[in-house]
């Protein structure tokens, strides 16, 4: 006969397994949607609401951000190595552009932190953000079609050297792309989608726009994680070390795959399919919630 202690142990194991499955699901969604232009924030809001999941502990949320950040480092490792090498040689052009592009999101994220956090509790807000994402992606698809050109899939993240342009002429485009990133702080608005389309509208090829977008994601993701650390420490929301490591690694691996897929899709001018998906999902949420 099974004793009470054994039954309690079994129930505790099932509870831990259920929690592990829930957070692994969130890590999967974070990894898949962080880089695809369909909004990770919007999907996390909708999935948590649909499945009745509580908001992840801040320690877990930071781990998911760090995992996807590592994916960017892996895919763009050669670009980052070259940027660092140039910086040590005295050429700070790309560093300056990334700093300028990061300013709008930093100002909005810090200045409106509490209001932004409140918006993440609304399914309808996430759906409206997805509709905005669909519209932005539709514009990107239209511009690509008008130009009649497609990005070349080099199989790697690095690209030929930029055509010579003075730093002064590149500051405003970098700032405007940064403004589109600031807009994506709202749930449902895709950071990658808005920044890549902004780059295309400013005359960049999809491949170059994607490169700047994902390099720009490094300070954005890192900054979001750093802003959460004080609250996580005060609330004791670090979570188990091994579990946190697993969620970060899983989100990073999935994010790496999603980033490679997006780069391949950009080479085929596939913004329209992401636009259709976001519009359909948002419409469904608005109609049935």
pLDDT digits (tens, 9 = 90+) for 232-263: 555 544 455 677 788 889 999 999 999 988 88
Mean pLDDT of the chain: 82
Q: What is the DSSP letter of 150?
A: -
Rounded to an integer, the average pLDDT of 1-26 is 60
Whether residue 41 is contained in a domain is answered as no
Q: Is the pLDDT of residue 111 over 80?
A: yes
Count of structural domains within the chain:
1
Confidence of residue 134 (pLDDT cuts 50, 70, 90): very high
Pick from 2-11, 19-28, 180-189, 244-253 the range whose average pLDDT is largest: 180-189
126 contacts 46 by C-beta, under 8 angstroms: yes
Whether residue 10 is contained in a domain is answered as no
Whether residue 243 is contained in a domain is answered as yes
Which residues in 213-237 are b (16+ Cβ under 10 Å) and which e? bbbbbbbbbebbbeebeeebeeeeb
Whether residue 271 is contained in a domain is answered as yes
Whether residue 155 is contained in a domain is answered as no
> What would the two tokens of residue 228 be?
């959460």
Better pLDDT: 281 or 222: 281
Whether residue 134 is contained in a domain is answered as yes
Q: Is the pLDDT of residue 92 over 70?
A: yes
Q: Hey, how many other C-beta atoms are within 10 angstroms of the C-beta on 151?
A: 22
Domain around 210: 56-149+166-288
Query: What pLDDT was estimated at residue 239?
Result: 53
Query: What pLDDT was estimated at residue 10?
Result: 43
Whether residue 114 is contained in a domain is answered as yes
Q: Environment class of residue 155 by beta-carbon count within 10 Å: exposed (0-12), middle (13-18) or buried (19+)?
A: exposed
Report how far apart, in Å, the C-alpha atoms of 172 and of each of 139, 168, 219 are: 21, 8, 19
Whether residue 22 is contained in a domain is answered as no
């Amino acid at each position: 006969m099974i004793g009470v202690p054994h039954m309690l142990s079994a129930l505790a194991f099932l509870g831990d397994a259920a929690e592990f499955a829930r957070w692994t699901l969130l890590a999967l969604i974070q990894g898949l949607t962080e880089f695809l232009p369909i909004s990770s924030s919007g999907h996390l809001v909708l999935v948590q609401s649909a499945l009745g999941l509580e908001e992840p502990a801040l320690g877990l949320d930071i781990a998911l951000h760090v995992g996807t950040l590592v994916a960017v480092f892996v895919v763009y490792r050669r670009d980052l190595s070259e940027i660092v090498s140039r910086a040590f040689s005295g050429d700070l052009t790309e560093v300056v552009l990334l700093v300028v592009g990061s300013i709008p999101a930093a100002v909005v994220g810090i200045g409106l932190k509490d209001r932004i956090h409140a918006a993440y509790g609304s399914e309808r807000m996430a759906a409206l953000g997805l509709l905005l994402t669909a519209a932005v992606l539709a514009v990107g698809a239209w511009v690509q079609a008008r130009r009649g050109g497609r990005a070349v899939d080099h199989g790697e993240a690095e690209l030929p050297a930029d055509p010579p342009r003075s730093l002064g002429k590149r500051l405003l485009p970098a700032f405007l792309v940064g403004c589109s990133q600031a807009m994506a702080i709202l749930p449902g608005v895709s950071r990658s989608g808005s920044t890549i389309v902004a780059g295309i509208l400013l005359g960049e090829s999809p491949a170059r726009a994607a490169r700047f977008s994902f390099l720009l994601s490094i300070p954005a993701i890192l900054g979001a994680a750093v802003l959460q650390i004080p609250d996580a420490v005060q609330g004791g929301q670090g979570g188990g070390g091994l579990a946190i490591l697993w969620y970060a690694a899983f989100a990073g691996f999935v994010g790496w795959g999603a980033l490679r897929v997006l780069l391949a899709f950009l080479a085929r001018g596939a913004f329209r399919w992401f636009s259709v998906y976001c519009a359909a999902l948002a419409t469904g949420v608005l109609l049935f919630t």
